[in-house]
Structure 1
Amino acid sequence: MTTNDIDFDRLLRANLERVFNERDLDKRQTAIAELFVEEPVMYEPTKIVRGRLEISRVAGELLKQFGPTFRFVPDGVAVGHHGLARLAWHAGPEQGPIAVTGADVAEVEGGKIARLWVLLNPPQ
């Protein structure tokens, strides 16, 4: 698979919807297996998360912490080339207000996310 074959928008949107918006553990872990390499690394502002199980755990805890209507919503289209992609997003309760904005930057290998940086915008 070449970098030209990768649908970066589909991949990063699937990560938001099927991993970070998914409250069902089994569905989330299935999605992570499809979307991430065997040993992914996620870089958050305050920690480094290693492995599929830990990424699933972090996503689940985040959703639990912020309540049943908290969602991540993509802003625009993901852009990428040469194995690097970015998708801006905002998050908060479904009926608002927006609690946080940021972007995911992913290094993609073989069509899957190998490394994911979660970049948070400063509060406004």
Structure 2
Amino acid sequence: MSDTEAEPDYDRLLRENLERVFNERDAGRRAAALEELYAPDPVMYEPGNVVRGRAAIGEVAGALLEQFGPAFRFRPAGAAVGHHGLGVLPWQAGPEGGPVTVTGTDAAEIADGRIVRLWVLLDPPPG
């Protein structure tokens, strides 16, 4: 990123990723969001997996929602911050209106206003 290039809106981009990709149950809408929010050949790093490409990331998001049931949602746990192409957003997840079952942070490399690489960092369970 050059010194004159404007910083992306990290908070908007990472919140939209949570809502429009990881909370979206409709595969068509999720695919459209991936095309808008992600670079052409993104990579997502999960604790035990590396996922390459928009379609594969969409499949992972859909499988998570299916696995955890119809009320499961990801929610931002604060505002995203970032600079020089790196943004982070803390989040929490669980059933809508129910207890939080998992927390973590998304860290994203952003270029030209899109996610190039996404790291999903899970917090250790309490206790």
Identify the TM-score tier after normalising by the shorter chain.
Answer: over 0.9
Tell me the alpha carbon deviations over residues 76-110 of structure 1, each in whole angstroms, 9 at most, x when there is no partner: 10000000000000000002111100000000010
1:48 aligns with 2:53: no
Q: 2:120 aligns with which of 118, 121, 124?
A: 118
AA matched with 2:97: Q
State the AA in 2 paired with 1:8.
Y
RMSD in angstroms over aligned alpha carbons?
A: 1.2
What secondary structure sits across from 2:80 in the alignment?
strand
Unpaired stretches in structure 2, ≥5 consecutive residues: none
Identity between Structure 1 and Structure 2 (%): 63
Q: Which amino acid letter does the alignment assign opposite residue 77 of structure 1?
A: A
TM-score by length of 2: 0.95
Pick which of 40-49 and 92-101 moved more. 92-101
Deviations 1:45-104 (A, max 9, x none): 000000000000000000000000100000110000000000000000002111100000
Unmatched 5+ stretches in structure 1: none
Q: How does 1:16-55 map to 2 (within 5 A)?
A: 16-55=18-57
- TM-score for both structures, normalised by structure 1: 0.97
Structure 1 residue corresponding to 2:67, chosen from 65, 70, 73: 65
Partner amino acid, structure 2, of 1:55: I
Work out the CA distance in 1 between the residues paired with 2:20 and 2:30.
Answer: 6
Q: CA deviation at 1:43?
A: 0.1
Give 1:3 deviation, angstroms: 5.3
How far apart in 2 are the matches of 1:36 and 1:88?
Answer: 19
Q: Displacement of 1:5 after TM fit?
A: 3.7
